[in-house]
């Protein structure tokens, strides 16, 4: 199918929007009229620019408030249409979108609407054009697609057909069964948009919160499949009004948009899809932490107390491998921009297949500067700037894996493990404008499933948090983003690595014996915990002593603790997860964030936004 995107989806002047669409591999665009009106380029110049970029202009939109009006108004509307047809000739576009009227003068008369739309279609036909009639969800008299279809049927004009817009159909929960009765030659255009479930006025919902397919809750695969089953052969075209996307980099957004269509097609095609399937992930091979002058000693100190030892050093880079059991962390002293999670590496049975899928989904392949004889690790860049590696780690070492890039260091006198068994989850702070994009990226590229979003209150503002996990729970990522961009404080950019253990009391005691105090939890928290749960007094005393947090769940107690924040950016969590529990102790997150704030009162609340450098 051809992929198109409406210019309204992207930020920037019209020529930037066109360039972004072409750069992401779209075959065409819908020209959103205000984008043209505000452009210094003539329609002919826009057409020429689109041609140069290999873009078809597939739709001119929207033409508003046309039908079911008094005769005098109709004459004026037809004159307005003639002027737009001249623009369409210059733009070299043959289909105009007419959305159902919201004009207070329009009357509730289907026969009149049909007759007037037929007159518009007559005029369009004289130019060789077509009219695609769309029921706006908030249209004055026509606000459901099946109603628009009855009007189009009654008009019975070859130049008049329907535009189906998934938002208008699915937001009103109109039955989809009428789609099965629409003739293919009357399906002139298909616009796709998803949206989160929100209880609000449908116009506001549409204008501000639409998102790309797969980023909301609409059953878009089912909807699109029904339209395709009728024989629709026009483009799949995205029309998304979104406050955040309009503020984001158009090239990145266009890539995100195109990825959403590739994922949708894969969902529709199922096994017939040509997309390389997601390979099974077996956990994390390593996590790479950047360390700078301000964070190296703290990071090493915390790792040591957590029971990790440096076991190897990279042969050619300033990278140290720290390990406990099979948990491997790389400390990279050469990574920009200093402290923070620079890379995650997932363990896969077939890293090549992972990389091929990532590439097919438009993930940027990273160029790794390799020394002679070093392992060729496939890596792609995530929207938040994190590198994602795909690898297979042999259990023996050295061997022909990424581990063979490392030289063992001399034993430094036996660090005793503390019972850390694995990486439970990794929490990544997302730039304000990359949240939906990141969720779709990790979901599609790594084959992870998104869980529901939760909103958490930090002293510096609200944080939205969403986990994406694989089906075995071996790969869990938590994506966090400040709800409002410009007020994003440093605190809202924190990342963490959560390490799992089987006996958190023993682990916490071992850490404390090595001099590491966890993040201090206020007594009020424990008073409340005791009020809510009839806690065993000895359990309560241990929680207080060790600064442990508890979430009592149907699966058992989820217990966790945090280390101090390193260089205002990154910290560790230790968790004891009861079998079957799929959460992250979200109820405790505000307490944690307040405690972090209390521990660093001199750090600015409002700092630079979390954008990538
Ligand atoms: Mg539309
Ligand atoms: Mg966590």
- DSSP states of 69-99 as a string? --HHHHHHHHHHHHHHHHHHHHHT--EEEEE
pLDDT single digits (tens) 223-256: 999 999 999 999 999 999 999 888 899 999 999 9
Residue 609 confidence (pLDDT): 39
Distance 559 CA to ligand 2 centre (A): 11
Proximal ligand: closest to the CA of 571: 2
Distance 79 CA to ligand 1 centre (A): 23
Distance 133 CA to ligand 1 centre (A): 10
Distance 24 CA to ligand 1 centre (A): 22
Distance 574 CA to ligand 2 centre (A): 8
Proximal ligand: closest to the CA of 477: 2
Distance 449 CA to ligand 2 centre (A): 17
Is residue 265 within a helix (H) or strand (E), and if so which, with residue range?
helix 250-269
- Burial of residue 78 (CB within 10 Å: 0-12, 13-18, 19+) is middle
Proximal ligand: closest to the CA of 593: 2
Residue 613 confidence (pLDDT): 31
Proximal ligand: closest to the CA of 498: 2
Any idea where the domains of the chain sit in the sequence?
A: 3-270, 281-612
Residue 413 confidence (pLDDT): 65
d(CA 34, CA 166): 22
Distance 155 CA to ligand 2 centre (A): 59
Distance 415 CA to ligand 2 centre (A): 26
The alpha-helical segments, DSSP class H, found in 159-247 are: 166-171, 202-209, 220-229
Collapsed DSSP state (helix, strand, coil) of residue 559:
strand
Distance 166 CA to ligand 1 centre (A): 8
What is the pTM assigned to this prediction?
0.92
Proximal ligand: closest to the CA of 496: 2
Distance 562 CA to ligand 1 centre (A): 48
Q: From the centroid of its chain, how far is CA 1?
A: 23
Which phi and psi (to 5°) does residue 612 adopt?
A: -70, 150
Distance 424 CA to ligand 1 centre (A): 43
Distance 467 CA to ligand 2 centre (A): 10
Distance 540 CA to ligand 1 centre (A): 57
Distance 427 CA to ligand 2 centre (A): 6
The C-alpha angle 563, 502, 424, rounded to 5 degrees, equals 60
Distance 549 CA to ligand 2 centre (A): 11
Distance 191 CA to ligand 1 centre (A): 6
Sheet of 340-348: strands edge to edge?
Answer: 378-381, 387-391, 340-348, 281-290, 327-332, 319-324, 309-314, 406-408
User: Which class in CATH covers the domain with range 3-270?
Assistant: alpha beta
Cα–Cα distances in angstroms (integers) from residue 442 to residues 434, 478, 593, in the given order:
12, 10, 25
Sign of the Cα pseudo-torsion (18, 21, 26, 32, in order): negative
Which residues, given as ranges, of the chain have pLDDT below 70?
336-337, 368-376, 394-400, 411-413, 485-492, 601-613
d(CA 141, CA 120): 19
Contact status, residue 387 vs residue 380, Cβ threshold 8 Å: yes
Is residue 63 within a helix (H) or strand (E), and if so which, with residue range?
strand 56-63
Q: From the centroid of its chain, how far is CA 86?
A: 40
Q: Among the CATH numbers 3.30.1050.10, 3.40.50.920, 3.10.180.10, 3.20.20.100, which is that of 281-612?
A: 3.10.180.10
Distance 571 CA to ligand 2 centre (A): 10
Distance 239 CA to ligand 1 centre (A): 6
Residue 373 confidence (pLDDT): 58
Collapsed DSSP state (helix, strand, coil) of residue 404:
helix
Contact status, residue 550 vs residue 457, Cβ threshold 8 Å: no
Proximal ligand: closest to the CA of 240: 1
Proximal ligand: closest to the CA of 62: 1
Contact status, residue 347 vs residue 393, Cβ threshold 8 Å: yes
Distance 95 CA to ligand 1 centre (A): 13
Proximal ligand: closest to the CA of 162: 1
d(CA 405, CA 462): 42
């Amino acid at each position: 199918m051809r992929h198109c995107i409406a210019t309204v989806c992207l930020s920037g002047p019209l020529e930037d929007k066109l360039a972004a669409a072409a750069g992401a591999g779209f075959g065409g665009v819908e020209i959103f009229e205000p984008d043209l009106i505000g452009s210094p380029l003539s329609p002919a110049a826009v057409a020429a620019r689109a041609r140069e970029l290999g873009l078809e202009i597939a739709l001119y939109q929207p033409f508003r408030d046309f039908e079911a009006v008094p005769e005098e108004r109709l004459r004026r509307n037809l004159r307005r249409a003639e002027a737009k047809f001249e623009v369409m000739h210059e733009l070299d576009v043959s289909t105009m979108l007419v959305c159902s009227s919201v004009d207070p003068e329009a009357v509730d008369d289907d026969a009149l609407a049909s007759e007037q739309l037929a007159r518009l279609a007559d005029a369009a036909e004289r130019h060789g054009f077509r009219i695609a009639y769309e029921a706006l969800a908030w249209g004055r008299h026509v606000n459901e697609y099946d109603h628009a279809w009855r009007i189009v049927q009654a008009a019975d004009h070859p130049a008049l057909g329907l535009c189906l817009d998934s938002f208008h159909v699915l937001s009103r929960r109109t039955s989809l069964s009428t789609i099965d009765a629409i003739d293919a030659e009357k399906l002139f255009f298909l616009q796709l948009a998803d949206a989160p479930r929100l209880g609000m006025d449908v116009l506001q919902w549409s204008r501000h919160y639409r998102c790309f397919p797969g980023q909301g809750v609409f059953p878009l695969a089912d909807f699109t499949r029904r339209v395709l089953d009728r024989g629709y052969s026009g483009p799949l075209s995205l029309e998304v009004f979104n406050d955040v996307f309009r503020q984001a980099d158009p090239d990145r957004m266009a890539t995100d948009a195109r990825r959403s269509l590739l994922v949708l097609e894969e969902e529709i095609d199922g096994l017939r899809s040509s997309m390389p399937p997601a390979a099974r992930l077996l956990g994390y091979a390593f996590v790479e932490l950047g360390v700078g002058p301000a964070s190296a000693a703290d990071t090493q100190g915390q790792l040591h107390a957590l029971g990790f030892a440096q076991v190897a050093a990279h042969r050619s880079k300033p990278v140290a491998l720290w390990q406990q059991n099979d948990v491997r962390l790389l400390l990279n002293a050469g990574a920009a921009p200093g402290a923070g999670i620079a890379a995650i590496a997932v363990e896969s049975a077939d890293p090549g297949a992972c990389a091929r899928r990532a590439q097919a989904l438009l993930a940027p392949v990273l160029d790794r500067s390799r020394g002679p004889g070093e392992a060729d690790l496939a890596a792609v860049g995530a929207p938040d700037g994190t590198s994602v590696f795909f690898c297979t780690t042999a259990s023996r070492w050295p061997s022909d894996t990424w581990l063979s890039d490392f030289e063992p260091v001399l034993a430094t006198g036996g660090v005793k493990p503390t019972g850390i068994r694995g990486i439970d989850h990794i929490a990544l702070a997302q730039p304000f404008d990359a949240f939906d994009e990141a969720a779709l990226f990790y979901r599609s590229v790594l084959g992870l499933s998104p869980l529901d979003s939760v909103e958490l209150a930090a002293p510096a503002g609200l944080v939205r948090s969403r986990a994406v996990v694989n089906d075995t729970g071996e790969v869990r990522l938590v994506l966090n983003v400040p709800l409002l961009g410009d007020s994003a404080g440093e605190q809202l950019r924190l990342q963490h690595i959560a390490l799992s253990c089987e006996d958190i009391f023993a682990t916490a005691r071992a850490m404390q014996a090595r001099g590491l105090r966890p993040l201090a939890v206020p007594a009020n928290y424990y008073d409340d915990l005791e009020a809510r749960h009839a806690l065993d007094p000895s359990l309560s005393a241990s929680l207080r002593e060790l600064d442990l947090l508890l979430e009592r769940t149907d699966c058992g107690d989820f217990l966790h603790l945090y280390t101090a924040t390193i260089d205002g950016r990154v910290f560790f969590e230790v968790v004891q997860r009861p079998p079957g529990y799929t959460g992250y102790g979200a109820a405790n997150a505000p307490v944690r964030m307040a405690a972090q704030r209390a521990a660093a009162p001199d750090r600015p609340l409002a700092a630079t936004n979390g954008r990538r450098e």
